[in-house]
Amino acid sequence: MISPEAINKYTSVDKLDYEDCLDVIEHSYQINGMNVKIRMHYIKFDGNGLPMIKALANMLYSYIIDYCISAKNRKGPLTTRQSTKLTKEARSLFRHPKINEKSPDKTGEAGELLLYFLMEAILKAPQMVSKMELKTNHKDEVKGSDGIHAKFNETSKQVDFYFGESKLYKSSSAAISDAIESVNQFHDIDMYIHEFSMITKHFKYAEKDVQDAITSLIVHGEPGPSVRINHACLIGYDFNGFNDLNTNSPKELLNDFTEKFKKDGERLTGLLQKKFDAFEKKHLCFEVFFLPFPSVSEFRNAFNTALD
């Protein structure tokens, strides 16, 4: 049987697209008592000192076929006509809320696509199931986690499964609380068993031998010795650090912003530590992506503009 490490080749996100719009700051923040990796990403600034919200939204839009349509349903290089058809099909799977100043988009789909992008670009973990494709009504919400990804870990020789939780809220505290509570409920009702079964039924890729290699690691719905469960959480929030930045030069603006964000990391880590101190399922592993926005509503609306 083919080795499960074959799944690593299926990532579709180009790291250069990440580097066009996003960056990360180095830090020493850590969570005690659990295996948690904190990642502090931020949206780059354009030459006029504005965060590249629209560019990020437009870039994410360019991945809607990869995100929504299983690779086995779009074999080989796409012709122009095929690409147009699949783009239309992918667009129809989003909810397209009517948005204005008094009624901003409150769906989570822009954040879910952004989390997919980060899991592939940063974690190098390809999407295993195109959940959007399984919706029977475009108005439905995706059930379970916000994404199922996996990769073969060369160091541990295990397959890391990543179940996504995307929370883009005005309040970082509310986003953190909801993310941890969602993970807690995910395990309280054994949702991971359903998610594992989805890989058997709806594996995204055409190669059955790769699918068999992955599903063979799951023993009666439970993770076997070569499987590790991880949760990838995207915490997007409104950050007032975008206000009153030093605009004397692009370099000073960026330094000012990253210093403010790095300082805010202390607060974010403290909030996260409190949640994990009370969290009973300490055997789980977490990848936590913090991403500040001038306004999460602005980002969602920018994505819907790109979508429409």
At residue 250, the pLDDT reads 95
Each residue's pLDDT tens digit, 135-158: 766 566 667 899 999 999 999 999
At residue 136, the pLDDT reads 64
Q: Whole-number mean pLDDT of the chain?
A: 92
Q: Band of the pLDDT at 296, cuts 50, 70, 90?
A: very high
Q: Band of the pLDDT at 292, cuts 50, 70, 90?
A: very high
Domain range summary for the chain, segments of one domain joined by +: 4-307
Task: For helices 53-61 and 109-121, give the axis angle rounded to 10 degrees.
Answer: 80
2 contacts: CB under 8 Å, gap ≥ 6: 209, 210, 212, 213
Q: How many residues does the chain have?
A: 308
Nearest to 167 by CA among 303, 22, 37, 289: 289
Is pLDDT of 104 > 70? no
Q: Band of the pLDDT at 95, cuts 50, 70, 90?
A: confident
DSSP labels, 68-127: HS-GGGS-SSPPHHHHHHHHHHHHHTS------SSS----SHHHHHHHHHHHHHTS---B
Is pLDDT of 26 > 90? yes
Nearest to 111 by CA among 219, 237, 198, 263: 237
Q: Band of the pLDDT at 100, cuts 50, 70, 90?
A: low
Tokens of 103: 């009624």
> Across residues 58-70, what is the average pLDDT?
95
Q: Band of the pLDDT at 165, cuts 50, 70, 90?
A: very high
Please state the separation of Cα 91 from the chain's center in Å: 19
Give percent above pLDDT 90 in the chain: 80
At residue 131, the pLDDT reads 92
Predicted model pTM: 0.94
> Across residues 107-123, what is the average pLDDT?
94
Residue 291 contacts residue 117 (beta carbons within 8 Å): no
Q: CB burial class (10 A; 0-12, 13-18, 19+) of residue 23?
A: middle
Cα angle value 111/117/121 (rounded, 5°)? 145
Name the one residue in this structure whose structure tokens are 């996003």.
22
Top pLDDT among 80 and 123 is at: 123
Say how far apart CA 124 and CA 89 lie, in whole Å.
26
197 contacts: CB under 8 Å, gap ≥ 6: 221
What SS3 class is residue 50?
coil
> Across residues 55-67, what is the average pLDDT?
96
Query: In the chain, which ranges are E strands?
Result: 22-25, 35-43, 148-153, 158-169, 218-219, 222-223, 227-238, 285-293
Each residue's pLDDT tens digit, 28-48: 999 999 999 999 999 999 999
Each residue's pLDDT tens digit, 240-251: 999 999 999 999
Task: For helices 296-307 and 53-61, give the axis angle rounded to 10 degrees.
Answer: 40
At residue 1, the pLDDT reads 53
